[in-house]
């Protein structure tokens, strides 16, 4: 049963689709899926994915998607899964000036059994804070992300709307790590319904952690499995942590401008 559960979580990690949510707009067509987060105007939260188009329509898809993001003045990312059609879509993107994201052109996940040891060093003065509970804590967590990803400072208005949208969604958590009171890192967690897993259960997924003055965390993740034999709802983080080794074939990402 544990093996079946693990395989289901691998499939979940590779096939998860962000649903519409407070602050998150999804445009689904027969040829692609667009996710927009206007209050989080960076590539990643704003993306085009699940491209399934005839070769004769691929150029139209690229122009159409760029028009969607361009009309909102949003940068975005193309996320290409292994089943992207047409198969030469990356070459077509390159011909249109969209090249692979330079830091982590491929993204992979790592699945860990519940008994897998994860050693955490003892760090004097380390504290974890619920950054959604307080606007100032959220601002500090956001600043850590902006620094790690070399983004410009975020405006207070959109940032506060984003915090309230996450609270309204009811399945989001943002953690701020401080050392001796100084911001040191942040990570976000989304509680998802893993329908591929036997006896569907809720599985938390953490995407895109960041460390102050350290590596950004887009290149890996992990799913921790619960005890399938007793049917327990596990506390199962799927987390990004610096640059994890790529364990499974991942989804290629292409960074694109909205221009």
Q: How far apart are CA 187 and CA 200, in angstroms?
A: 25
State the virtual CA torsion across 26, 19, 151, 154 in degrees, nearest 10. Answer: 80
Tokens for 139? 């601002």
Query: CB under 8 Å to 249, separation ≥6 — which residues?
Result: 82, 108
Encode the chain (259 residues) as per-residue pLDDT tens digits: 455 556 666 666 667 788 899 999 999 999 999 999 999 888 888 989 999 999 999 999 999 999 999 999 998 888 888 889 999 998 999 899 888 877 666 666 666 655 667 777 888 999 999 999 999 999 999 998 888 777 777 789 999 999 999 999 988 889 999 999 999 888 888 876 655 444 444 454 545 556 666 544 433 333 333 333 223 233 222 222 122 222 233 333 333 333 3
Measure the CA–CA gap between 14 and 49, rounded to whole angstroms. Answer: 12
Instruction: Select from 107, 26, 37 the least CA-distant residue to 75.
Output: 37
- Of 198, 195, 174, give the one whose Cα is nearest residue 186: 174
DSSP states of 119-188: -----TTEEEEEGGG-HHHHHHHHHHHHHHTTPPPPPHHHHHHHHHHHHHHSSEEEEEEEETTEEEEEEE
Helix (H) or strand (E) holding 62: helix 58-71
Overall CATH class of domain 111-224? alpha beta
């Amino acid at each position: 049963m544990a093996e079946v559960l693990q395989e289901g979580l691998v499939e979940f990690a590779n096939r998860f689709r962000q649903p519409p949510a407070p602050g998150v707009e999804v445009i689904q067509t027969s040829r692609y899926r667009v996710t927009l987060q206007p209050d989080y105007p960076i590539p990643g939260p704003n993306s085009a994915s699940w491209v399934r188009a005839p070769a004769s329509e691929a150029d139209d898809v690229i122009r159409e998607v760029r028009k969607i993001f361009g009309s909102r003045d949003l940068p975005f990312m193309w996320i290409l899964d292994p089943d992207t059609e047409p198969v030469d879509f990356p070459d077509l993107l390159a011909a249109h000036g969209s090249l692979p994201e330079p830091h982590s052109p491929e993204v992979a996940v790592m699945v860990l059994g519940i008994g897998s040891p994860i050693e955490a060093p003892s760090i004097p003065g380390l504290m974890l804070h619920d950054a959604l509970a307080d606007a100032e804590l959220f601002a500090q967590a956001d600043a850590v992300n902006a620094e790690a990803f070399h983004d410009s400072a975020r405006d207070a208005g959109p940032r506060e709307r984003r915090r309230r949208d996450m609270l309204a969604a009811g399945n989001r958590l943002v953690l701020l790590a401080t050392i001796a009171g100084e911001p040191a890192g942040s990570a976000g967690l989304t509680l998802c319904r893993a329908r591929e897993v036997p006896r569907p259960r809720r599985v938390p997924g953490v995407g895109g952690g960041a460390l102050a003055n350290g590596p950004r965390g887009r290149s890996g993740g992990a799913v921790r499995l619960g005890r399938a034999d007793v049917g327990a709802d596990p506390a199962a983080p799927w987390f990004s942590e610096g640059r994890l080794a790529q364990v499974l074939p991942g989804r290629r990402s292409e960074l694109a401008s909205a221009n």
